Structure 1
Amino acid sequence: MQTGVKIVVFLFWAFSSTIAQNAIEYKEEEFHVGVILDMGTAVGKVAHTSILIAVEDFYAVHLNYTTRLVLHIRDSMSDDVQAASAVLDLLENYNVQAIIGPQKSSQAVFISALGNKYQVPIISFTETSKSLSSRCLPYFVQAIACDSAQVSSIASIIKTYGWREVVPIYVDNDYGRGIILDFVSVLEGTDAHIPYRSAIDELATGEQITKELYKLMTMQTRVFVVHMSASLGSLLFTKAKEIGMMSKGFVWIITDGLANLIDSLNPSVGEAMNGALGIEVPERSSNDPTLKLSIFGLWSYDTIWAVAQAAEKAKVTETKFQRLPAPKNSTCLGTLKYSRNGPAVLKAILQIKFEGLSGYFDLSDGGLHASMFQIINVVGKAQRVIGFWTAQNGISYISDQRRTNKTYVSTTHNLNIVIWPRESIEVPRGWEIPTNGKKLQVGVVSGGRSKYIDASEDSHTGVVKASGLAIDIFEEAVKRLPYALPYEYIVFNTTENVSSSYDDFVYQVYLKKYDIAVGDITIRYNRSLYVDFTLPYPESGIAMVVPVKESINKNAWIFLKPLTPDMCHVLQLGVVMDYEEKVKVKRVISLIVLVIWLFFILVLKSCYTASLTSMLTVQQLQPTVTNVNELLKTGQSVGYGRGSYIKGVLEDLGFDKSKIKPYDTLEDFHSALSKGSKSGDSGDSAAFVSEIPYIKLFLAEHCKGYTMVGPIYKTAGFGYALQKGSPIIGGISQAILNITGGDTIIQIEKKWIGDQNNCQNVGTLSGTGSLSFDSFAGLIIATGVASTTSLMVALIIYFCENKQVGSENGDSGQIMPQEENKNSGDEEKQCQEAAGARGMNEQINKVMHNGSLVICTGERIRRSWVSSSSARF
């Protein structure tokens, strides 16, 4: 019995020792964490709830962890001094090893500096300012997506809808200003710009906000990006609705700081925001399905889990703080202790990676990287998702989870239909004529080339009338815009120096005297530095006008031009072969050779005929100068329009200044070109160099005798100049493209320049010619000489033979004996029968082959013997 009691006591002692040992082994170490929240805000209330739930959930899952977070929550009451005081108290009296918060950027600036100095990590789930990045403050960690990511998504929306101007409306503090630099930088790649920045004080009254909104209404821009706190944003949209800025034609885009809190706003505020677009990080449901947390709640929840894991990973067994040597007369800041565990804790926080409620939670770079934003549309008291944005694929109407490998481009087809303000589904164009009703100021020049642009002001009414090809195209483009564009013309008088005058003319647009400059304005690099140009409307480039001449001299011996000396010998051979064709060929091999030669002669004859026909019937025109290098080599003079930048182009091409001659009118050009640069007159030129539109105008008035050579130099053409970032430039350019791509431009050019098809020297160097006696004079002369010579030779032979016969018969008075007449009659009969039976040619050839030549006349047949060699010519 006694032994049994001893055993029981021993077992009880062993069990108690084991429990005590386990209690010592699993003793939890406290890890003190400070929390700074603004309990009076929606974010502060949601964050407070989610933080408490996060601690409970974490240790319910991780039962074996030896560290436990001890939270010290403080209310900043939206006061910077109160927040700073709370942090000092936490550092001095509670030895906190990490601080979560604060919410406001103005508080974060001071608190992050304290954390950096005393090696206490500061983790914020609301502060997005780039100025507080971990590069400058390594102990400041942003457990939230930075602003640069969301501004890229906003820029994609602006590019998708083709808006050219956008005005940011932001709270005038570090939080608001921090996004502007990123926004401006990203917009540079979208052809959009910011004409005005609306900074609103964080303590602004409703009256001050209304005054600023009225100022915005006087501007053209109708696209606004709002970046401010929920309280200030609520007041802004309420006032915007009151003054009519939440109506059709307006575009409102809100950043995630406001978009993430729409559900927590007053219903009247949500109704005032009807039609706005928003950017937010997609939410995920929390562990408690009955609890709906905003993204800030999810970020604060995941932040607690990250700090709890880091505390366990850092293996901090005891709190280690050391007081720095305090200088004399130091404040309480000088007496604070720095954390010796700080580096280890910070390192552990930055190494934590896990899949949290807010998404993949990774703070390795000192901040979160949002992989995706969703684009929402506020409709009534609710919101609807219209699309998603990712840095890799841009905008799409489906999320990455449902995305295929297809790459999406930024077009409106990648977004669901948007309900814009006043329940309109028509995409706003992003700008309007200001409420003061000012018309578009259109600058036009007077004293220019009237075919392209001319303007005059009525001395009585003051109304400016403009005309010309440039004006017709501009007015036609305005008609094709999908919106009304009231405008009025303002005259700009040019000086003698056309080039400098046009530079001054365009510069008036930069000075905002004109909204647009219309005319024959060359698009040049130096001008594009301070204005934007529309698409060019005429054909572009620089070319030359030169006289034309006949490329072939149609003289009396033109029929010899198709033949070279070598081909003349071949042609003679062809004549012989043509005769041999009539000779009976007995050998097969000879026949084969003969056929080949005959085919060759047939082709030769056809080519000769075609070549000669072309020379005689087609007018071959050739420019007197074919390229710029020819002018440079020969040292001939060239002309250009006085005051034009063409002079500089010619100098760059290598022309001597003395060879570059200015002219004032098209008639001056005509006069100079008609004489040529070799006439000895100092005012004459071999070519006229100008822009192609002006050359077309010249050729329309002086069609015959000239042609265009080139282009010899590329230019951008003529365009209209507008202010940088003008919202109408896209519409005007599209309208010009539509005009120049159809029949309208042909009709306008025909009206002012004439029908270019009627001028044979425009676009071609050949035309149909007519035949004349001179073209055949050589051939006629050659034929006449040969015929006359042959007749004279035949007569000489005839008289010589008759004289010889007469001497032999002793009867000089008888031309031919009777017997001869008889024989002649027989031969005459033979000739006629042969002609009737086999054809005249065949019989004559047969007689020629026998060595005699028979000449058949009307009534008599004369015979003369000719040697065989003579019969072969």
Structure 2
Amino acid sequence: MAFPFITSKTIIKIFLLFPILIFFLLSLSNGDEAANTTNEVTNIGAIIDVSSRIGKEEKIAMEIAAENFNNNHSKTHKLFLYFQDPGQDPLQVVSAADELIKEKKVQVILGMNKWEEAALVAAVGNKANVPVISFAAPAITPPMMQQRWPFLIQMANNDSAHIECIAEIVRAYNWKRVIAVYEDDAYGSDSGMLSLLSGALQKFDSEIEYCFLLPPVSSLSNAGGFVLDKLLELQKNTQSRVFIVLQSSMPMVSHLFREAKKVGLVGRESAWIIPESVTSVLDSVNNSVISSMEGALGIKTYYSNAKGYDQLDFWTPESGFSENLVMNKSTEKIAGRLAGPVKRSPKGWAMPTKQKPLIIGVPGRTSFEKFVKVDYSQTPFKYDGWCIEVFEKVRENLSYSLPYKFVPYDGNYPDLVYNVYNKTYDAVVGDITILANRTQSVQFTQPYAASGLSMVVPAKPEGSPWLFFKPFTWNMWGATGIILIYTMLIVWFLEHQFNPAFSGPLKNQIGSTLWFTFSTLFSAQSEKVYSNLTRVVVVVWLFVVLILTSSYTASLSSMLTVLRLQPVEDIEWLKSSNSKVGCDGDSFVMSYLQNVLGFNPSNIIKVTTESDYKGHFENKSIAAAFLELPYEKVFINKYCKGYTTSAATYRFGGFGFVFQKGSPIARDFSEAILRLSEAGILEDLEQKCLTPSHQGSSTPSPTSVWNKAVGLAKYFYNGEISTALERAPSLSHTPDLEDHWSSSRWEEVSTSDIPDNIIQASPPAEIELSSS
């Protein structure tokens, strides 16, 4: 089976098959008896709404088919037709079936263009053992259908392929939200098509935004006025402009398109998809209705001799869309066809205009004004900041004009995002972080800045006259002193009687021994020792000295090169010590600190402005501040001397612009952001707006100091400055030495640039040992 334009000739062709099928069924039931009987008459009942066009065509087709069979195919077997018109009353369908079976003695019943009617007639046929041939099928095949209606034969497929074709069209045009339109019938249902459409759209990440339900046209005294009021209400409350007509009568469709065109919902950015029940009868409506439907997409079953409006494409479940359809002669396929004309792809969305611009919410108060700043002193309000400039750059990069209007919002960020979901705003521009829970209700663009949570703490004060004592604890210093004195006493005891260097007055002996023992820490000695026991003691002492000096040097180097966080160690230390921390009270960070990181709410201080962070640090009211990465860059750039940061352990989705779910503008913005990012424009804009220059004066890092020292040594070694003291009595004669020291080019020097012969080990401590 398949879908395009079916004319009345095609319908007649289909119904020519029905008598053959009926005769086949009757032959199976009657066997040879039917074949030997002369002038056998088969009564056929038909339940058809002859007031509708399709019903009239079906009646004519059946009469032609029966007449053709009686005159040309059988002289001994005749077909006799009995028609019943139940109208729009479901109860009349059951009565009509009973009358055909009991009074007309029909042997088969066919017709029923609604599944609800077919199900009722099938139940009657079950009781009388009369086959029922239905022209309708359920949207979703019920379970145990054959067991429930064993005498029911369906001459139509269910609507699953039809709905799949519609969903493929929605995917092809990248529409994310649609409006389902259907006319209610006497049974008060959508025949399951709404559920089927919803499931098919979900496969492509699309959804039904609104169900536009219309009552039966026969129940309305002023159908045009009613439809107009409903369309105006829909236009006000929805953003999607993709209309999918699931089921509707042709009179209702005529009113629908005529009124939709009046209010601007046909053409431009709107898209309409109409079902086979409508496209099948388009050749019978007047030109005014056709003109109001211009650009609509129609879906119909395809037959090789079918004719209709402009063919745009074919669709099959196996191969999807294709311009040419290859049909298997032995097997019919499902095919879909789009009816035009369509000059361009509609966005399927209520695009902003000068009369109705895009309403954009902007944070009215921010902690860091470099991102978003609203100047309320000017009329109209002036909007400035990095986020605003990024928005303008992106808007300029679009392929179309985008009228907009900024509206300040004096509230917190979660509520601002929610106002896009409830359609107070069409979009939000600002420093909005992309979070998983927010993406469930709104649509974000691609991030234009990275984001993560960083901890800012005061830096450890630099410089201390007692810093050289800190590598060892006081206990270690005491133990070292005791070992030194002990070694001194042993050396004096063993040497003062034989060694002239340790003889003389007691005062000189103590001084010489102390000097000998202490000076072995740094240099070679000229004093000789005579006792072998003294030599053993000195060797042990030198081994201890080696361990002490190595440990001291390593510990002191670590202190000088590693900038420690003071007094904060890490997040766990903050929580265990009940230290106060600061964060932006209007952002999600406060709830994140409580719910994810586990901070006590009473220990979280709300900070409203950038300068307040510095104030809280100075008066010791907070031990650390938690900022997102872009804010941390601005803060450290301004107060770089007194603060340091930890690595951003917790990463987020970045900063993005917020739009309503399904908005094609969000997709266009994302593409523009990627183009600007690839061109380096966003990075340049970030440097210009957020970190134009290093406002704070930071102390050179130990690594840079070392590299500069190495570079300066290389400078001297290469002879660029005379190293002879007599040739350079003062630094005033060294050209541009200070400039070279402060120049950033020293940062690039590494130890690999130094000639091997400039780095030599210091001569080892040497003790002259003489034999006794």
TM-score (ref. length: structure 2)? 0.62
Q: Name the CA distance, whole Å, in 1 between partners of 2:80 and 2:139.
A: 26
* Structure with bigger gyration radius: 1
SS at match of 2:313: strand
Q: Name the CA distance, whole Å, in 1 between partners of 2:355 and 2:118.
A: 46
The answer to whether the 8 A contact 2:217-2:251 is kept is no
Deviation at 1:701, TM superposition (A): 0.9
1:646 counterpart = 2:589: yes
Query: Which residue is 2:217 aligned to?
Result: 202
Query: Which residue is 1:275 aligned to?
Result: 295
1:523 to 434, 449, 468: 434
Residues 398-426 of structure 1, C-alpha deviation per residue, up to 9 Å, x if partnerless? 54759xxxxxxxxxxx999x8865x62x2
The letter for the 1-side match of 2:311 is R
Residues 84-112 of structure 1, C-alpha deviation per residue, up to 9 Å, x if partnerless? 54322212113334321222467446535
Q: Name the CA distance, whole Å, in 2 between partners of 1:115 and 1:765.
A: 95
1:735 to 672, 678, 687: 672
The letter for the 2-side match of 1:624 is L
- Matched residues, number: 582
The answer to whether the 8 A contact 1:74-1:86 is kept is no
Residues 228-259 of structure 1, C-alpha deviation per residue, up to 9 Å, x if partnerless? 23444345445555776543333221112222
SS at match of 1:520: coil
Residues 676-698 of structure 1, C-alpha deviation per residue, up to 9 Å, x if partnerless? xxxxx85352x432211211121
SS at match of 2:668: helix
The answer to whether the 8 A contact 2:374-2:384 is kept is yes
Seen in structure 2, the aligned counterparts of structure 1 residues 61 and 541 have a Cα distance that, compared at 3 Å, is farther
The answer to whether the 8 A contact 1:637-1:661 is kept is no
The answer to whether the 8 A contact 2:273-2:298 is kept is yes
Q: Percent identity?
A: 30
| Aligned ranges 1:435-834 → 2 under 5 Å | 437-449=355-367, 450-458=369-377, 461=379, 463-494=380-411, 501-546=412-457, 620=561, 622-624=563-565, 628=570, 631=573, 635=577, 637=579, 639-643=581-585, 645-651=588-594, 652-653=596-597, 663-670=607-614, 683-685=621-623, 687-704=624-641, 706-755=643-692, 767=704
1:38 counterpart = 2:49: yes
Seen in structure 2, the aligned counterparts of structure 1 residues 194 and 727 have a Cα distance that, compared at 3 Å, is farther
Seen in structure 2, the aligned counterparts of structure 1 residues 189 and 263 have a Cα distance that, compared at 3 Å, is same
2:268 to 229, 248, 258: 248
1:382 to 306, 309, 318: 309
Seen in structure 2, the aligned counterparts of structure 1 residues 175 and 745 have a Cα distance that, compared at 3 Å, is same
The letter for the 1-side match of 2:270 is F
Seen in structure 2, the aligned counterparts of structure 1 residues 68 and 149 have a Cα distance that, compared at 3 Å, is farther
Deviation at 1:157, TM superposition (A): 0.9
The answer to whether the 8 A contact 1:635-1:659 is kept is no
| Aligned ranges 1:130-529 → 2 under 5 Å | 130=140, 135=145, 138=149, 141-173=153-185, 174=187, 177-178=190-191, 179-200=193-214, 201-203=216-218, 204=220, 205-213=223-231, 220-226=239-245, 227-237=247-257, 240=260, 246-263=266-283, 265-266=285-286, 269-270=289-290, 272-284=292-304, 382-390=309-317, 392-399=318-325, 401=327, 424=343, 426-433=344-351, 437-449=355-367, 450-458=369-377, 461=379, 463-494=380-411, 501-529=412-440
The answer to whether the 8 A contact 1:707-1:761 is kept is no
2:81 to 69, 72, 78: 72
The letter for the 2-side match of 1:386 is D
The answer to whether the 8 A contact 2:66-2:80 is kept is no
Q: Name the CA distance, whole Å, in 1 between partners of 2:354 and 2:611.
A: 48
Deviation at 1:673, TM superposition (A): 5.9
Residues 247-299 of structure 1, C-alpha deviation per residue, up to 9 Å, x if partnerless? 333322111222234445556644553322122222255xxxxxx7x9xxxxx
Q: Name the CA distance, whole Å, in 1 between partners of 2:339 and 2:163.
A: 22
Deviation at 1:435, TM superposition (A): 8.4
The answer to whether the 8 A contact 2:442-2:660 is kept is yes
The letter for the 1-side match of 2:583 is G
The answer to whether the 8 A contact 1:224-1:251 is kept is yes
The answer to whether the 8 A contact 1:704-1:759 is kept is yes
The letter for the 2-side match of 1:384 is Q
Q: Name the CA distance, whole Å, in 1 between partners of 2:229 and 2:636.
A: 60
Q: CA RMSD in A?
A: 5.2
SS at match of 2:430: strand
The letter for the 2-side match of 1:703 is C
The answer to whether the 8 A contact 2:360-2:426 is kept is yes
Q: Name the CA distance, whole Å, in 1 between partners of 2:128 and 2:698.
A: 87
Seen in structure 2, the aligned counterparts of structure 1 residues 176 and 484 have a Cα distance that, compared at 3 Å, is farther
Residues 187-227 of structure 1, C-alpha deviation per residue, up to 9 Å, x if partnerless? 33434333433333332544544554555566643322223
Deviation at 1:666, TM superposition (A): 3.9
SS at match of 1:388: strand
Seen in structure 2, the aligned counterparts of structure 1 residues 190 and 627 have a Cα distance that, compared at 3 Å, is farther
SS at match of 1:653: coil
The answer to whether the 8 A contact 1:397-1:415 is kept is no
Q: Name the CA distance, whole Å, in 2 between partners of 1:655 and 1:208.
A: 58
Higher relative contact order (CA 8 A, sep 6+): 2
Structure 2 unpaired stretches of 5+ = 1-30, 329-334, 469-552, 714-767
The answer to whether the 8 A contact 1:33-1:69 is kept is no
Q: Name the CA distance, whole Å, in 2 between partners of 1:270 and 1:251.
A: 15
Query: Which residue is 2:542 aligned to?
Result: none
Deviation at 1:870, TM superposition (A): 10
Deviation at 1:388, TM superposition (A): 0.9
SS at match of 2:407: strand
The answer to whether the 8 A contact 1:33-1:98 is kept is yes
Seen in structure 2, the aligned counterparts of structure 1 residues 546 and 486 have a Cα distance that, compared at 3 Å, is same
Deviation at 1:158, TM superposition (A): 1.1
Residues 441-485 of structure 1, C-alpha deviation per residue, up to 9 Å, x if partnerless? 2222223121112224457x5x23222222222233333333333
Q: Name the CA distance, whole Å, in 1 between partners of 2:313 and 2:117.
A: 35
Seen in structure 2, the aligned counterparts of structure 1 residues 669 and 82 have a Cα distance that, compared at 3 Å, is closer
Structure 1 unpaired stretches of 5+ = 1-21, 286-291, 295-380, 403-413, 495-500, 558-610, 675-680, 777-868
Q: Name the CA distance, whole Å, in 2 between partners of 1:728 and 1:37.
A: 49
